[in-house]
Chain A
Amino acid sequence: MRHDERRVSARRSSVRIGCGAGMSDDRIGPAADLVERGELDVIVFECLAERTIARETLARSRDPERGYTPTMAARLRAVLPACRRHGVRIVTNMGAANPSAGARLAQREAKDLGLPGISCAVVKGDDVTDLLRGMGSLPLLETGEPLESILPDMASANAYLGADVVAAAMDTGADVVVTGRVADPSLFVGPLIHYFGWSGADLHQLAAGTIAGHLLECSAQVTGGCFADPGRKEVPGLSDLGYPFAEIDTDGRVVLSKTPGSGGRLDRATCTEQLLYEIHDPAAYLTPDCVLDITDVDFVQRGPDRVEVRGAAARPPTSSYKVVVGYFDGFIGSGEITFAGINAVERARLGADLVQQRLARRGLAYSETRIDLIGMTSLHGRDDGRGAPYEVRLRVAARTTSRAAAAAVGAEVRSLHMQGPASAGGGIDQGVQEVLAVKSVLLPRHLVTPSVEFMAA
């Protein structure tokens, strides 16, 4: 089939698009269930956290055929047969730092499964690392410092591409679209543009597609994940959460649902929590496709686990792409040990003091040190007289530019077994983490050139 024919025949009045993963370590099984039972047109796998590409860029530098999401092969193996049976197309950012290699992997996996004839489209152009090397004066978002301050330690720089290039990839007719960095909602909006032929002027429709993508992109977080509180907020079938899909029509009507017969719940409460997840100003959620305004959004229950989303609005997008810059930011060393019984908290505090004294005595420098008493202060950070727990686990973590100094933190915590307060149990040297951190800059759009490469079956 020629590509232009595919494009014309793709037009339809309604599309079902599902979410098969909301992070690289998401469960694998629910996506296959959704493809089997969801009557989908497209399934999207969103697997890139902010720093993931930096990590995969390092993997690519060691092996030019690496750099895609490590779980990509397993995810594709789980869904490709069902996708072929039901005619479901795949869109995923699991290409990470190496979408071309990701697409080659997809074709190899398909062949191994006895499914020859899988074509891929690769979205390219998000990698702006070389470009940014010459743009040290760009201000970092949040701090306003110049990019220059982290350039020497830069590991990767990727622009959040938009739905337009994803749509172009769909237009090729590819069975699998593999991208690197693309704004999460745009992974969903791209196929809608492909099927419906929306233009940049169709702001009502782009708003609908963007809000659908935003609600879907974290998989089970809209179907009962991250929600249950026993006795207060119950979720039926929590161990078998179904993954969500949206039915979207060409005019921008959006109805959310989830895998038939699966666990979980999809209703006004779960949708409202997920709508506001990672949103700042509700009147201005910036994506490469539009500025989404959710101020007047409302949810209407249309049936069991069926929710219509209404009231999203949008303005045209800004003239910039957001770029996430990964950079090396030193080391974190940490260690943990537990105290129980009478005076446990005071012994833990003495242990924390000892570790810090020992590290200072050894002349090791740390730019930041954090003491947690797990069971008291580790998540909310304060001990406001709720009473001492029976057991408490001490955790010491510290930041440093030296791997050796980072290793010393865990070693000193571990030595509390023999040379610390009485009765210290379960000392673990947590070891050393090399920190790949991220910051963001805005880059004028005209400096970025997204493109599509088609890989025939």
Chain B
Amino acid sequence: MTRSSRRVYDLAHSRAGDKGNTSNVSVIAYRPEDWDTLVAELTVDRVAEAFGHITRGPIRRYELPKLHALNFVIEGALGGGVTRSLAQDPHGKGLSSLMLTIELPVGLRAQQDGTRSARETAES
């Protein structure tokens, strides 16, 4: 087992959108062969850890296998909503680049095949 890690940035690209006080952040594999790694390793728990200082709201993950894309819906992430936030980035456009900083373990392929059929996976 290696101890090394790689960033989501190395595997995927991302865009963030806003609706009310909820941000959605897509994660799209550049290469089809990295899709399984993202599904297995970019869990709701890892995303909750990265975004925990911004929101404690629920996070949901959706899978779009044909596009090799995940969609994370992160509630409470926009400082009360685009129209009333005190933040410099009220739309949370910059949150996609936070998603890409998350580090994923290498060589620790989780045995998650059994859970893959569920479109909507864990909720924290």
Do the two chains bind?
yes
B101 neighbours in A (Cβ, 8 Å): 380
B54 neighbours in A (Cβ, 8 Å): 380-381
B13 neighbours in A (Cβ, 8 Å): 227, 229, 232-233, 269, 273
One digit per residue, 1 when the CB lies within 8 angstroms of any chain A CB and 0 when it does not, for chain B 1-42 equals: 000000001000111011111101010101000000000000
Name the contact of A142 in the complex, choosing from B18, B22, B69, B98 (C-beta under 8 A): B22
Q: Is A340 an interface residue (CB 8 A)?
A: no
Interface residues of B in 62-111 (CB under 8 A from A): 62, 64, 66-67, 69, 71, 73, 79-84, 86-89, 93-95, 97-98, 101
Residue of A nearest to B23 (CB): A278
Give the distance in Å from the alpha carbon of A224 to the alpha carbon of B21 in the complex.
26
Known: A277-B17, A294-B64. A51 touches B28 (CB 8 A): no
Say which size band chain B's interface belongs to.
35 or more
B28 neighbours in A (Cβ, 8 Å): 269, 272-273, 276
Evaluate contact between A332 and B73: CB separation under 8 angstroms: no
Evaluate contact between B87 and A436: CB separation under 8 angstroms: no
Give the distance in Å from the alpha carbon of A334 to the alpha carbon of B71 in the complex.
34
B17 neighbours in A (Cβ, 8 Å): 276-279
| Nearest Cβ on chain A to B108's Cβ, whole angstroms | 23
Evaluate contact between A273 and B22: CB separation under 8 angstroms: no
Q: Is A280 an interface residue (CB 8 A)?
A: yes
B119 neighbours in A (Cβ, 8 Å): 282-283, 295
Name the contact of B15 in the complex, choosing from A277, A296, A382 (C-beta under 8 A): A277
Evaluate contact between A276 and B71: CB separation under 8 angstroms: yes
Q: Is B45 an interface residue (CB 8 A)?
A: no
Evaluate contact between A379 and B26: CB separation under 8 angstroms: no
One digit per residue, 1 when the CB lies within 8 angstroms of any chain B CB and 0 when it does not, for chain A 274-304 equals: 1111111111000000000011111100000
Residue of A nearest to B87 (CB): A370
Give the distance in Å from the alpha carbon of A118 to the alpha carbon of B84 in the complex.
40
| Nearest Cβ on chain A to B90's Cβ, whole angstroms | 10
Evaluate contact between A370 and B86: CB separation under 8 angstroms: yes
B22 neighbours in A (Cβ, 8 Å): 142, 280
Evaluate contact between B64 and A311: CB separation under 8 angstroms: no
Evaluate contact between A397 and B86: CB separation under 8 angstroms: yes
Say which size band chain A's interface belongs to.
35 or more
Residue of A nearest to B79 (CB): A370
- Of the candidates B19, B53, B67, B69, the one having the most CB atoms from chain A within 10 angstroms of its own CB is B67
| Nearest Cβ on chain A to B113's Cβ, whole angstroms | 19
Evaluate contact between A281 and B66: CB separation under 8 angstroms: no
Enumerate 26 A-B pairs (CB-CB under 8 Å) in ascending A order.
A142-B21, A226-B93, A229-B13, A232-B9, A233-B13, A269-B28, A276-B28, A276-B64, A276-B69, A280-B71, A281-B62, A282-B71, A283-B119, A295-B119, A297-B64, A297-B66, A297-B67, A368-B86, A372-B88, A378-B88, A379-B88, A379-B94, A380-B94, A380-B101, A435-B83, A439-B20
Evaluate contact between A437 and B66: CB separation under 8 angstroms: no
Name the contact of A280 in the complex, choosing from B66, B73, B84, B98 (C-beta under 8 A): B73
Residue of A nearest to B14 (CB): A273
Evaluate contact between A278 and B53: CB separation under 8 angstroms: no
Give the distance in Å from the alpha carbon of A222 to the alpha carbon of B87 in the complex.
26
Q: Is A75 an interface residue (CB 8 A)?
A: no
Evaluate contact between B19 and A280: CB separation under 8 angstroms: yes
- Of the candidates B17, B28, B83, the one having the most CB atoms from chain A within 10 angstroms of its own CB is B83
Evaluate contact between B86 and A332: CB separation under 8 angstroms: yes
Residue of A nearest to B28 (CB): A272
A232 neighbours in B (Cβ, 8 Å): 9, 13
| Nearest Cβ on chain A to B89's Cβ, whole angstroms | 5
Having A369-B86, A379-B94, A379-B97, one finds 11 other A-B pairs with CB under 8 Å, namely: A226-B93, A269-B13, A277-B15, A278-B18, A295-B64, A311-B66, A332-B86, A374-B88, A380-B97, A399-B84, A437-B83
Chain A to chain B: the 10 pairs with minimum beta-carbon distance, closest first: A278-B17, A276-B26, A379-B94, A370-B86, A437-B84, A273-B15, A277-B17, A437-B83, A397-B86, A298-B66
Give the distance in Å from the alpha carbon of A397 to the alpha carbon of B89 in the complex.
13
Give the distance in Å from the alpha carbon of A4 to the alpha carbon of B64 in the complex.
44
Give the distance in Å from the alpha carbon of A378 to the alpha carbon of B80 in the complex.
16
Evaluate contact between B20 and A142: CB separation under 8 angstroms: yes
Q: Is A440 an interface residue (CB 8 A)?
A: yes
Give the distance in Å from the alpha carbon of A299 to the alpha carbon of B28 in the complex.
13
Residue of B nearest to A366 (CB): B86
Interface residues of A in 353-397 (CB under 8 A from B): 368-370, 372, 374, 378-382, 395, 397
Evaluate contact between B20 and A141: CB separation under 8 angstroms: yes
Name the contact of B98 in the complex, choosing from A227, A295, A334, A380 (C-beta under 8 A): A380
Give the distance in Å from the alpha carbon of A311 to the alpha carbon of B71 in the complex.
18
Give the distance in Å from the alpha carbon of A329 to the alpha carbon of B26 in the complex.
31
| Nearest Cβ on chain B to A96's Cβ, whole angstroms | 16
Evaluate contact between A399 and B53: CB separation under 8 angstroms: no
Give the distance in Å from the alpha carbon of A329 to the alpha carbon of B85 in the complex.
11
Give the distance in Å from the alpha carbon of A219 to the alpha carbon of B123 in the complex.
33
Evaluate contact between A50 and B15: CB separation under 8 angstroms: no
Residue of B nearest to A330 (CB): B84
Give the distance in Å from the alpha carbon of A274 to the alpha carbon of B14 in the complex.
10
Residue of B nearest to A280 (CB): B73
A379 neighbours in B (Cβ, 8 Å): 88-89, 94, 97-98
| Nearest Cβ on chain A to B23's Cβ, whole angstroms | 10
| Nearest Cβ on chain A to B112's Cβ, whole angstroms | 19
